Structure 1
């Protein structure tokens, strides 16, 4: 069997040769285990290092994803033995002392902490591998398998196993990436949606200190209302009709259930896309400090400055909230009618209370005025959901980082709308604007990528995204570039006085203080009600 062979700390791997979008060759090594399979008593626990193997391991195929139900088509796929990663590199070091200094970019996939993988169906490397970088894409545990949390600290299931998987993957990168010509001292983590929130949590976690040096957060951060989980042990016990409330007894049963049976039980806990409830599966604040990923509220960590100070790019699409329509597919679009569901849970308002109803009415009047929500004014629905689920906290996080960090923060808004807008294409949405996850089509080749015509808006946009992202990975600054004619503006970082941003449209433009009126509205609503709560 032919193919490139590399020797890493665990053994030998045989990969394959692939071709980028500009016909340059790169090497692919897929399905590499970075941790021991989390099976049996290791289910829900923090990951353990991968065990070595003998012989040459086939690394020409992707590993399994964490068990999940594929959005929209609802098919079940994946399993528990999912802790693998993929490495793509322009070349392997030929000599023992040859330079291994290529910037490393580690992609963390999205999917709301309940779906997704690092596979090429969505995250093909052909665009990014036009640059002289090493790309890593990873899988991590999802849903109940990655985010079950128990109250009893002695049971060693405090939560965040999926985030600890990502830390283990980064430790693998630190130890092994030089074998692929990568520089372990120049690692950029980047992700979209839950992958962006996970990247932000890594910035906030002492467990990840020293494992990465830059971060790109696309449409997500640790402050977003969907990026938190809760304890669902009692609900799972009730669904499984377990005649006990003892966490140890419940855990013993959960550890032995067949993977599909546990998954199907866990998905019976409602996980709606609404602002007034905490989701069942996601990051939590751990009760026990020893071995913890997170022990403090993310907002407090940000305000204190006690986090990993690294340069950051963060941003959003101009109609993130189209995702609310995507989640309704394949049924026809249904506008919001109960605005109490748009009242953020962190305000602590009782549903049905006078104050909750007042805030709901204020939200309705701000976004809809005197109009009745219908399918004819979808854009108002999009803007409300954009702000409530994504933009408000992203802009807050950017400002807080600037207040407390020694490293720069670059902010962007994406407005380009072409055939590469992935989510709109998959969900068959024809409205103007850029949906959540549309940015993925400009960084990665995927299952719906069209033919890219030379000189087209699509080709230019791919070159821009790739240049900005890889410039940042190479130089700590997206503006630093070599022989690059596609970036024709200077992207200034956010300052304490100016929320500077880059708008990535068919042209690149710069501005300050984006979405100002909408953010003033939310600032007033939150300030009044948080004071009332105190």
Structure 2
């Protein structure tokens, strides 16, 4: 099988051949531009369509990621010329054949400040055992993708990174047919910030009609870390400017190198603390024209004014292990100031009687009579799991269930094997499934071990892949024919029952997972019910 060549709307691409988990060949096309490089006058602006090229473009290497810190080495990598995507397919168009495959578009995580769609982290070998077309995208992150200014005349309203995703989905609509993909059967899926982004795409009128299903893994638009604040004044101070004039701040930023700008913006990064609002991420835009989002997500969810597509959404049992990882290389330090655990959307003044009361209730619920130490880490993990992930994932399911016209499938991941990505990467030995552990069952990466046929790892990969691709194909994760690996029926959520699938060493079903902890938070949220998330 020689090097494949494909002609798309902007020119010809030369890809390469890979081998999937079953050692069968598939085609890979890397680093395909889906928009103009967002550099010079296009810095911070909404993306523009890619320009055509002459000749045949080499599409055998990943595109450059958006500038950020390497997740392990912490060195600066990437640039702002990053708007590329990868496409993987088992077939290319043949004369006389018009069969089109379901398309799955992967949106990487990284808290809107790091990450990329790199094949080193998101290798396609597992998913390409199924007859789908897989697309993974890069988008702008950090200050590059999420600088937001109040002055509409400056044309930097925010959400450029989310608008990049819309542009990538438009590229898919126009070009995926050249890879045997069906533009009328597109599923977006992502993990962490990628899941929150997918949820924002569900909520955005700008993305209407560009996709038909969505899978949200460990994230949603309502999560504490998925909404940000405008911070131009603070940024001006970091830059040494004696002004709050947004135009002057923007002029300085436009003249800086991307490395200088990144390092300056990094000084405004907030730690992963529930009581604070992050500076780099999605915002509600002020001006409707050209906006990705100009209404509060809760208003959209309550009213049903969003893109009604089937949704698969879930979480891992100990998402909060992430909070320990983020403390490294410093030793683990448990939470001691519980006012820092008071959710920012409650808008309670720190030090007030009500803030102290909420903090006291949180401590007593999660720790009882114990004091936080490194000996009772699991209590810390549960608090962080609920505060940063599960509470709003749960509420998202509830909101959609009230207003959605299509099914919602809810899951919890509890399996622990050598494929749990984050725990293995960071040598976590405590029990529980960490945030990002699910990635190791859908994608190959540099740490993927050899997998023995019939092992727990082998069975789990095949289950994950089958459930995810069944949903992409049919809008229903259940198999259409008998499958010994999926021996239960996964029911969607109903008006009366919060059905869920537990993905452990075995598949089991149930109702209302972790409901005791969610009932506690329901009581807390009633303290200030008028505040939206």
When the two structures are superposed, what TM-score results if normalisation uses the length of structure 2? 0.98
Rounded Cα–Cα distance in structure 1 between residues aligned with 2:313 and 2:409? 6
The question of whether the paired residues in 1 share the 8 Å contact of 2:13 and 2:29 is answered with: yes
The question of whether the paired residues in 2 share the 8 Å contact of 1:100 and 1:178 is answered with: no
Instruction: Give the structure 2 partner of residue 288 of structure 1.
Output: 287
Rounded Cα–Cα distance in structure 2 between residues aligned with 1:105 and 1:400? 25
Rounded Cα–Cα distance in structure 2 between residues aligned with 1:77 and 1:532? 39
Range moving further from structure 2, 367-376 or 240-249: 240-249
The question of whether the paired residues in 2 share the 8 Å contact of 1:472 and 1:480 is answered with: no
The question of whether the paired residues in 2 share the 8 Å contact of 1:442 and 1:461 is answered with: yes
Instruction: Give the structure 1 partner of residue 4 of structure 2.
Output: 4
Rounded Cα–Cα distance in structure 2 between residues aligned with 1:190 and 1:146? 20
Instruction: Give the structure 2 partner of residue 321 of structure 1.
Output: 320
The question of whether the paired residues in 2 share the 8 Å contact of 1:171 and 1:211 is answered with: yes
Instruction: Give the structure 2 partner of residue 354 of structure 1.
Output: 353
Rounded Cα–Cα distance in structure 1 between residues aligned with 2:366 and 2:243? 47
Alignment pair present for 1:514 and 2:518: no
Instruction: Give the structure 1 partner of residue 452 of structure 2.
Output: 453
The question of whether the paired residues in 2 share the 8 Å contact of 1:10 and 1:50 is answered with: yes
Instruction: Give the structure 2 partner of residue 170 of structure 1.
Output: 169
Query: SS at 2:485's partner residue?
Result: coil
Rounded Cα–Cα distance in structure 1 between residues aligned with 2:498 and 2:458? 29
Q: CA deviation at 1:332?
A: 1.6
Instruction: Give the structure 2 partner of residue 219 of structure 1.
Output: 218
Rounded Cα–Cα distance in structure 1 between residues aligned with 2:530 and 2:206? 34
Instruction: Give the structure 2 partner of residue 525 of structure 1.
Output: 524
* Deviations 1:297-355, CA, capped at 9 Å, x for gaps: 11111000000000000000000000011101122211110000000011110111111
Q: CA deviation at 1:2?
A: 5.3
Q: How does 1:86-485 map to 2 (within 5 A)?
A: 86-95=86-95, 98-482=97-481, 484-485=483-484
The question of whether the paired residues in 1 share the 8 Å contact of 2:346 and 2:531 is answered with: no
The question of whether the paired residues in 1 share the 8 Å contact of 2:269 and 2:280 is answered with: no
Instruction: Give the structure 1 partner of residue 46 of structure 2.
Output: 46
Q: Which runs of 5+ in 1 are unaligned?
A: none
The question of whether the paired residues in 2 share the 8 Å contact of 1:72 and 1:329 is answered with: no
* Deviations 1:164-211, CA, capped at 9 Å, x for gaps: 000000000000000000000000000000000000000000000000
Q: Which runs of 5+ in 2 are unaligned?
A: none
Instruction: Give the structure 1 partner of residue 496 of structure 2.
Output: 497
Rounded Cα–Cα distance in structure 1 between residues aligned with 2:269 and 2:286? 25
Q: Kindly report the root-mean-square deviation, in angstroms, between the aligned alpha carbons of the 2 structures.
A: 1.2
Rounded Cα–Cα distance in structure 1 between residues aligned with 2:260 and 2:313? 38
Q: How does 1:10-89 map to 2 (within 5 A)?
A: 10-89=10-89
When the two structures are superposed, what TM-score results if normalisation uses the length of structure 1? 0.98
Query: SS at 1:300's partner residue?
Result: helix
The question of whether the paired residues in 1 share the 8 Å contact of 2:14 and 2:56 is answered with: yes
Runs of 4+ in 1 over 6 A off after TM superposition: none
Rounded Cα–Cα distance in structure 1 between residues aligned with 2:87 and 2:529? 46
Rounded Cα–Cα distance in structure 1 between residues aligned with 2:254 and 2:446? 35
Rounded Cα–Cα distance in structure 2 between residues aligned with 1:270 and 1:81? 22
Rounded Cα–Cα distance in structure 1 between residues aligned with 2:248 and 2:369? 55
Query: Cα gap change, 1:532/1:44 in structure 2, threshold over 3 Å: closer, same or farther?
Result: closer
Rounded Cα–Cα distance in structure 2 between residues aligned with 1:370 and 1:159? 45
Query: SS at 1:30's partner residue?
Result: strand
Rounded Cα–Cα distance in structure 1 between residues aligned with 2:290 and 2:528? 36
The question of whether the paired residues in 2 share the 8 Å contact of 1:421 and 1:441 is answered with: yes
Q: CA deviation at 1:245?
A: 2.1
* Deviations 1:413-449, CA, capped at 9 Å, x for gaps: 0000000000001111000000000000000001111
Query: SS at 1:210's partner residue?
Result: coil
Q: CA deviation at 1:70?
A: 1.8
* Deviations 1:192-236, CA, capped at 9 Å, x for gaps: 000000000000000000000000000000000100111111111
Q: CA deviation at 1:532?
A: 9.7
Q: CA deviation at 1:270?
A: 3.2
Range moving further from structure 2, 518-527 or 234-243: 234-243
Rounded Cα–Cα distance in structure 1 between residues aligned with 2:230 and 2:503? 39
